[in-house]
């Protein structure tokens, strides 16, 4: 039995999009259409790393639309956000077009370096090619988000979300109220399933135990954008 009445939705509202290629994903892969797509995309993103180090980027983000690739960065020497756009090739995945964007910016760097014999001036030259303040810092500087760990499935049994606990002034009372409502709905004496009722009962006790010693995991990133942090080799996936 579902937790809430089903809402009428069209296919576009239910569609999940792969964070690496933009194609619809299957039901069991919410963030990526496949592991190979994710791996190829993550590998190609690291092609930007040397360029970003040369530009002394403190933070950077990457995203894409159907028509363009977008790179935003903040350097160590300025609070200005610089944005770069690269036209996508029809029929190609973003990972395939990253090659061209990296080579285009890289060639600008090397050509000016050969001319000026100064890495600092070459970096300034690349920054001058960027568009300023197209986006705000909130779409470039990663933030931390904390998530309750090890209780997702138990919350689901009580038709709760993690935020129901995290935002509550009295999490224990919130969980108890959800338990009573779910138990009443599925109690065997009221026509419910004994198996489902036992699941709900166990879930509630697991949540009560978790509340005695809450544990969280932390994610860093930017909503809707892959993000880079100076000193790190990997890119963080979108929040």
The residues spanned by each domain of the chain are 17-144+220-229, 150-214
Q: How far apart are CA 190 and CA 187, in angstroms?
A: 5
For the 150-214 domain, the top CATH level (class) is: mainly alpha
User: Which has the minimum average pLDDT: 18-32, 112-126, 139-153, 186-200?
Assistant: 18-32
Cα dist from 95 to 6, 68, 195, whole Å: 37, 12, 47
Read off the pLDDT of residues 45-78 as tens digits, 9 standing for 90 and up.
999 999 999 999 999 999 999 999 999 999 998 8
So what's the pLDDT on residue 152?
85
Q: Which residue from 61, 115, 83 is spatially nearest to 225, judged by alpha carbons?
A: 61
Q: Is 10 left (phi over 0), alpha (psi -120 to 50) or beta?
A: beta
Cα dist from 75 to 54, 91, 141, 193, 224, whole Å: 10, 33, 11, 59, 21
Read off the pLDDT of residues 126-135 as tens digits, 9 standing for 90 and up.
999 999 999 9
So what's the pLDDT on residue 2?
44
Read off the pLDDT of residues 176-185 as tens digits, 9 standing for 90 and up.
999 999 999 9
Residue 192 has pLDDT above 50, yes or no: yes
């Amino acid at each position: 039995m579902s937790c809430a009445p089903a809402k009428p939705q069209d296919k576009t509202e239910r569609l999940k999009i792969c964070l690496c290629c933009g194609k619809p994903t299957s039901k069991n892969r919410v963030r990526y259409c496949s592991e190979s797509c994710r791996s190829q995309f993550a590998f190609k993103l690291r092609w930007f790393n040397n360029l970003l180090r040369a530009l002394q980027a403190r933070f950077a983000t990457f995203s894409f639309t159907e028509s363009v690739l977008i790179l935003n960065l903040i350097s160590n020497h300025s609070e200005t956000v610089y944005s770069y756009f690269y036209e996508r090739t029809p029929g190609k995945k973003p990972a395939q077009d990253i090659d061209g964007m990296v080579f285009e910016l890289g060639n600008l760097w090397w050509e000016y370096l050969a001319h000026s014999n100064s890495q600092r001036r070459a970096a300034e030259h690349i920054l001058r090619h960027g568009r300023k303040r197209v986006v705000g810092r909130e779409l470039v500087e990663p933030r931390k988000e904390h998530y309750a760990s090890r209780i997702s499935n138990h919350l689901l049994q009580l038709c709760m979300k993690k935020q129901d606990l995290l935002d509550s002034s009295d999490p224990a009372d919130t969980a108890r109220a959800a338990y009573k409502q779910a138990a009443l709905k599925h109690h065997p004496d009221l026509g419910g399933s004994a198996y489902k009722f036992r699941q709900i009962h166990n879930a509630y006790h697991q949540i009560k135990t978790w509340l005695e010693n809450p544990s969280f995991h932390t994610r860093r990133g930017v909503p809707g954008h892959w993000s880079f942090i100076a000193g790190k080799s990997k890119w963080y996936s979108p929040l």
